Amino acid sequence: MARGGAAVSGGETPAEKKGWFARLRAGVSRTSNALSDNLTGVLTKRKLDEETLDELEEVLLKADLGFAMADRIRALSKSRHDKGLGADDVRAILAEEVARVLEPVAQPLELDDAAKPHVILVVGVNGTGKTTTIGKLAHLFARNGKSVMLAAGDTFRAAAIDQLKIWGARVGAEVIAKSVGADPAGVAFEALERAQASGTDVLLIDTAGRLHNKGDLMAELAKIVRVLKKLDETAPHTVLLVLDATTGQNALNQVQTFREIAGVTNLVVTKLDGSARGGIVVAIAETFGLPINAVGVGEGIEDFEPFDPHDFAAAIAGAGQENDAAA
């Protein structure tokens, strides 16, 4: 199966990469500043005894890095203490461990060249930024020379339909939409028919995200998948879950739930700039091992880039500058 047309692949110039890293670092500054301050406070007030190690572990857990990461950093800090370990050394250890965990999951969102269109079903709870993510993805696909169509499958919220239409106009993508209350599966079916007929490269389908009514949501998403398969038995080719970093540990529950409901294959993490809990990305990677295609650190159309594990690790830990080797 031929692959290609990565939505969020590399290829940026050094200047663009530097600009993105600056935005990433600024975006996760709340996480890195809180970590840095707390690490310094813990590691400079006394020797690295068990009580201090307990406090170090608590600092890491408060950043939502997860129990596995916190345990490893604690063990590594303890084993290297004889070398005169300080706060900067712990930050360096943290950056190294975070990058190691994230490297296997930091993958571009690739398109199947054999699929016309490649269907991406976008799921997630309301408020995570699904519609904005769809718009940003559409922009990136179009920038890479792909034709794009959008489907307004969240028919329960007029605002979601209107927002998708605005994004469609902005990026030059046709939007298939019906009135509020229409059958989401019908919207998806019509969109795929139109996309197939026009030879569109990518179809992005928005969906509702009402987890308080899990049974209805499960039935709705299952119906969307069924009708898509009537036209293309391989669709959807990607089920993309959009997560809001500000929800912290609850993001783990969302991944588990949407894996059960929709068979999630890929992840995007948004709103890293609004959270002091950016470490949740690490906990998600370590727990589920799903590909993380991109992170968002703002509302701008350019505030959305490939997920670089080294850049992210350095930004979160506040350890060092841009990793040119990872470029």
* 210 annotated as ligand-binding: yes
Structure tokens at 172: 């030059």
pTM of the full predicted structure? 0.85
Whole-angstrom distance, CA of residue 282 vs CA of residue 246: 14
Domains and CATH numbers, the chain: 15-103 (1.20.120.140), 118-309 (3.40.50.300)
Q: Is 126 annotated as a binding residue?
A: yes
127 is known to lie in a ligand binding site: yes
Q: Is 208 annotated as a binding residue?
A: yes
CA nearest 39: which of 62, 56, 63, 58? 56
Q: Residue 128 annotated as binding? A: yes
Query: 284: closest CA among 243, 314, 313?
Result: 243
287 is in an annotated binding site: no
30 annotated among ligand-binding-site residues:
no
Cα of first residue to Cα of last residue in the chain, in angstroms, is 27
Was 265 annotated as part of a binding site? no
Residue 229 is assigned to a ligand binding site: no
On whether 18 is known to bind a ligand per the annotation, the reply is no
- DSSP conformation letters of 184-232: HHHHHHHHHHHHHHHT-SEEEE-----GGGHHHHHHHHHHHHHHHHHH-
According to the annotation, is 294 in a ligand binding site?
Answer: no
| 142 CB-side CA count, 13 A | 19
207 is in an annotated binding site: yes
Number of C-alpha atoms within 13 angstroms, CB side, residue 251? 32
273 marked among binding-site residues? yes
Q: Tell whether 131 is in a known binding site.
A: yes
- Using CA atoms, how far apart are residues 208 and 246, in angstroms rounded to an integer? 20
Query: Residue 234, annotated ligand binder?
Result: no
Residue of 106, 108, 103, 98 lying closest to 282 (CA atoms)? 98
d(CA 171, CA 162): 15
Report whether 278 belongs to an annotated binding site. no
pLDDT values of the chain reduced to their tens digit, one per residue, 327 residues = 344 444 455 445 544 555 655 666 666 676 677 777 777 777 665 567 788 788 888 888 888 888 999 999 888 888 876 666 677 888 888 889 999 999 999 998 999 989 999 999 999 998 898 999 999 999 999 999 999 999 999 999 999 999 999 999 999 999 999 999 999 999 999 999 999 999 999 999 999 988 777 888 889 999 999 999 999 999 999 999 999 988 888 999 999 999 988 999 999 998 877 655 678 899 999 999 999 998 877 676 766 767 789 988 888 887 654 343 333
Any known ligand binding at 186?
Answer: no
